[in-house]
């Protein structure tokens, strides 16, 4: 859907680096009963990337993903998925794991996988065969003939995950995929996501847990209040905050201290300050020439959490923390 007078997107588009895009969206807007859930979202997801949509619950992540998939239409804006303006027409090439999990309790595990594949155009017989193989490959061979109602919640989630992948999609969309998984199964899912990307599958997932995005993603979109204040490589987001330097010197005073930045704070034999715009080399020369006696020097790059705070604001960061399970909070 597009605004009146807007031209459709050109086919085979790429990002600023010339990489072909699996997903492109411009100016997506969605309103529900007078409330604007998504307000002018732009996204560019390169083919083969692991791309995270990061923000607190209620920020507009799920609505954005559903618009990209064609589950709901935007009120305004443009979208193109795998080169198509109508995502519903290429459902066979997309795997989607919604946040709301659900399988038929009476189905056997391998049949549930086959059924989900059939919804994406995979013949049932082939889906049953692949379902059994996938369960074996992922250590769930013992559950092939068990009904979903006989499985633990974590096992049922893994079955639904395998059903999302059984038709071998080119694009996989996960909505809060780590929710409800224990640490062991979260690690398995991270390994699976990396394996998908290694064979060229594009993976986009929403999350409110920064650690998952920081470990996995090539690029992220930070979303808060229905808007995207940042979208791009994780490294670029982290570079919004200059690295911090921690310096330990043998000498306590001397002419070299004039070379320290104005924000340098003493802590015993240590100095803490922001890396100068000119880099560390001029400071190192001054320290050496001034015989400061460098005992240690470390430069710590900002993490994605600090970048999120700087980009989205303290309120969004607090909401993000409140969404975490108790054991994961700082």
Q: Mean per-residue pLDDT for 120-131?
A: 96
Counting Cα atoms < 13 Å in the Cβ hemisphere of 281 gives 1
Residue 290 lies in a domain: yes
pLDDT in tens, 239-262: 989 999 999 999 988 999 999 999
pLDDT confidence of residue 94:
97
Kindly tell me the burial class for residue 248, based on how many C-beta atoms sit within 10 Å of its own C-beta (0-12, 13-18, 19 or more).
middle
pLDDT confidence of residue 15:
62
Residue 284 lies in a domain: yes
pLDDT level of residue 6 (50, 70, 90 thresholds): very low
Residue 278 lies in a domain: yes
User: In the 3-class helix/strand/coil scheme, how is 118-167 assigned residue by residue?
Assistant: HCCCCCHHHHHHHHHHHHHHCCCHHHCCCEHHHCCHHHHHHHHHHHHHCC
Which of 86-95, 130-139, 305-314 is the least confident region? 305-314
Q: Mean per-residue pLDDT for 158-181?
A: 93
Share of residues in the chain with pLDDT > 70 (%): 92
Residue 227 lies in a domain: no
Which of 118, 121, 158 is closest to 142 using CA atoms?
158
pLDDT confidence of residue 12:
46
pLDDT confidence of residue 16:
58
Judged against a pLDDT cut of 90, whether residue 13 lies above it is answered with no
Which of 34, 94, 109, 30 is closest to 67 using CA atoms?
30
Residue 82 lies in a domain: no
pLDDT in tens, 209-225: 899 999 999 999 999 99
pLDDT confidence of residue 9:
54
The larger pLDDT score, comparing residue 284 to residue 1, is at: 284
pLDDT in tens, 62-89: 999 999 999 999 999 999 999 999 998 9
Element (H, E) at 187: helix 183-198
Domain carrying residue 279: 244-300
Residue 14 lies in a domain: no
Which of 12-21, 234-243, 308-317 is the least confident region? 12-21
Domains in the chain, number: 1
Q: 202 to each of 10, 20, 145, 236, 295, how far by Cα in Å?
A: 20, 11, 31, 20, 46
Residue 42 lies in a domain: no
Residue 291 lies in a domain: yes
């Amino acid at each position: 859907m597009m605004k009146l007078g807007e031209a459709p997107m050109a086919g085979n588009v790429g990002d600023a680096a010339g990489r072909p895009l699996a997903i492109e969206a411009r100016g997506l807007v969605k309103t529900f009963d007078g409330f604007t859930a998504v307000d002018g979202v732009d996204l560019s997801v390169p083919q083969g990337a692991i791309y995270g949509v990061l923000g607190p619950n209620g920020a507009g992540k799920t609505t954005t993903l559903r618009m990209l998939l064609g589950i709901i239409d935007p009120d305004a804006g443009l979208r193109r998925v795998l080169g198509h303006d109508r995502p519903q027409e290429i459902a066979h090439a997309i795997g989607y794991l919604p946040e709301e999990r659900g399988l038929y309790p009476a189905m056997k595990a391998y049949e549930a996988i086959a059924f989900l594949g059939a919804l994406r155009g995979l013949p049932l017989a082939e889906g049953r065969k692949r379902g059994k193989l996938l369960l074996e490959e992922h250590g769930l061979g013992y559950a092939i003939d068990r009904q979903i109602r006989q499985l633990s919640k974590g096992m049922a989630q893994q079955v639904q995950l395998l059903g999302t992948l059984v038709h071998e999609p080119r694009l996989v969309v996960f909505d809060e995929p780590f929710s409800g998984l224990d640490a062991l199964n979260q690690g398995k899912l991270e390994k699976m996501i990396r394996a998908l990307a290694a064979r060229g599958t594009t993976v986009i997932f929403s999350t409110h847990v920064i650690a998952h995005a920081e470990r996995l993603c090539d690029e992220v979109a930070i979303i808060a209040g229905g808007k995207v204040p940042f979208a791009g490589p994780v490294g670029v987001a982290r570079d919004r905050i200059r690295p911090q330097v921690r310096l330990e010197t043998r000498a306590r005073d001397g002419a070299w201290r004039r070379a320290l930045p104005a924000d340098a704070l003493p802590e015993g034999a240590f100095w803490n300050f922001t890396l100068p715009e000119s880099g560390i080399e001029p400071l190192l020369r001054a320290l050496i020439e001034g015989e400061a006696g460098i005992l240690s020097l470390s430069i710590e790059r900002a993490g994605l959490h600090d970048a999120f705070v700087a980009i989205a604001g303290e309120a969004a960061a607090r909401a993000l923390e409140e969404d975490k399970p108790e054991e994961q909070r700082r």
